[in-house]
Structure 1
Amino acid sequence: MKDRMDPARAQALCATLDLPAPGPDLPPFFHHIYFWEAHPPEALGRDGHPAVGGTIPDMGLPRRMWAGGRLEFPAPLHSAIPAEKTTTIENTAHKHGRSGPLGFVTLRHEIRQNGTLCVREFQDLVYRTDPAPDTPRPVPPPAPDGAEETRPVQFSPTLLFRYSALTFNGHRIHYDRDYARDVEGYDGLVVHGPLLAQMLMLMAAEAGPLTRFSFRASAPLMDHEPATLCRAGPRYWVCGPNGRLCMSAEAG
């Protein structure tokens, strides 16, 4: 898949995140606003994502979650220079957890400009069943202590909508409150896991160019909930209300 890497898209994401206009080198993780896969409505699943069965195999489970990822940045990725992205299936597995059957898919994405590898990303997806009305919610893990730096953050419905638009992410849990509550069982609009990872990566990049970054989601964060970005050395995390850990990460 090819993209001409329009600088206007990066400028729009910077405006959305209240950041200064970017230079020619794109900030880490900004590649997610490129390489759109535009499918017609009949090719979408009930959740707004492209229906499984193409690149992503059908795991027989309706709910999708981006559980985490690992990234390498061997060279800068530039705006306004055409790039090519290749995606392959790294691994698939079925397991049975406390909440029922689970499907795991790991995708490997590689992005090149002028033949140079700029980004290698391993994307971990989890598929699960719909929650039964009487199913108890899992207890989220507590966030760690000992943060050396903290930053309060808030995610409005407008921010979630604009991030969905820029990443061409049709998942309805991020903008359709009724669907998020009544079908997938959430308390509100869900903040994108990649958006949390993006905020942590931008925080980590302030110390210098990133060569590696990994992250793991552990509990959802709703649009009406305040959160805190935290750092201790190379470790980063998102702390939600009541001290719950929403995401953990490590920079390199």
Structure 2
Amino acid sequence: MTQQPAHSRILTDVIDPARARALQATLGLPQTLEAGSALPPFFHQIYFWDAQPSAQLGRDGHPAPGDFLPDMGLPRRMWAAGRLLFHAPLKAGIRAEKLSFVEGVTRKSGRSGPLAFVRLRHDIRQRGAVVLTEWQDLVYREDGGTAEHPPARSDAHHREPLHVDTTTLFRYSALTFNGHRIHYDAPYATQVEGYDGLVVHGPLLAQHLLLLGERMLQRPLTEASYRATAPLTLPQEAELCWADGAAWVRGPDGVQCMEAVMR
């Protein structure tokens, strides 16, 4: 029986191959996954939904804090970074269990005002063994304010275009059961949270980078980490870039939107 830490939750799911094929279609990949197939890296994001009634959602469409996630007293929540250890393949068609717990909470003061960081750890088990360990860093901040966006590296050995449209955002939100309004509600994204347009999901960018890394390394990944550095908003175009085990998303005007390191 799984030992459950304090301030934690357990979610279970059968890793439906039809949902995985739907993500392949959304990403423009051949729909090849069947029961028993090993999932590509990061495909676990479309499982283990935390489905809450509308009355229990915050203004942003996310489940309101205060239950599993702590209430940090700041209205804007973003996925800032993550790290993954791939112990064994996560296979389609087999029941899996995800144990999540809050590993740490910190507060800081930035140029845009107070910030709060929450680190989550997730252990995904299948047939009694941990197949994936993931850490997620969430950042909370006040409304308004601006941040400096770093320039992307210019030493890419490989580049390919990344095109995302509103249909892609809708389908990825649906597959991940992500109700965050910045991905589909343009007035909310621009007028309330201050973005230039609809925001491309950070996990969707990470998904593209990890798939790129697996193609470039020509083998399954054993470890990956990523960090969001600037938002990518529609209708902006971007590039996926690769050099020596590192990948990044190069956005408009050479801005780096996300970076990742894989092995």
TM-score range relative to shorter protein: over 0.9
After superposition, where does 1:128-207 map in structure 2 within 5 Å? 128-131=141-144, 135=145, 137-206=146-215, 207=218
Deviations 1:108-148 (A, max 9, x none): 001010011111000000000000xxx4x323100011100
Unaligned runs of 5+ in 1: none
In structure 1, the partner of 2:18 is 8
1:40 maps onto 2:66 in alignment: no
1:101 maps onto 2:110 in alignment: no
Q: Name the SS of the counterpart of 2:63 in structure 1.
A: coil
In structure 2, the partner of 1:53 is 66
Q: Name the SS of the counterpart of 2:104 in structure 1.
A: strand
Structure 1 segments, 4+ long, off by >2 Å, are: none
Amino acid across the alignment from 1:156: D
Deviates more, 1:223-232 or 1:17-26: 17-26
1:235 maps onto 2:246 in alignment: yes
Deviations 1:181-232 (A, max 9, x none): 0100001000000000000001111121000000000000012000000000
1:27 maps onto 2:40 in alignment: yes
Percent of paired sites with the same residue: 58
Contact 1:74 1:119 in 2 (8 A): yes
1:100 and 1:139 map into 2 onto residues whose CA distance is 14
Q: Name the SS of the counterpart of 1:179 in structure 2.
A: helix
- CA positional deviation for 1:22: 3.4
Deviations 1:93-119 (A, max 9, x none): 111011000010000001010011111
In structure 2, the partner of 1:219 is 230
Q: Name the SS of the counterpart of 2:151 in structure 1.
A: coil
After superposition, where does 1:79-90 map in structure 2 within 5 Å? 79-90=92-103
Q: Name the SS of the counterpart of 1:122 in structure 2.
A: strand
- TM-score, with normalisation over the residues of structure 1? 0.97
1:22 and 1:40 map into 2 onto residues whose CA distance is 34
- TM-score, with normalisation over the residues of structure 2? 0.93
Unaligned runs of 5+ in 2: 1-10
Aligned residues: 248
1:22 and 1:183 map into 2 onto residues whose CA distance is 40
- CA positional deviation for 1:5: 1.0
Contact 1:154 1:223 in 2 (8 A): no
In structure 2, the partner of 1:76 is 89
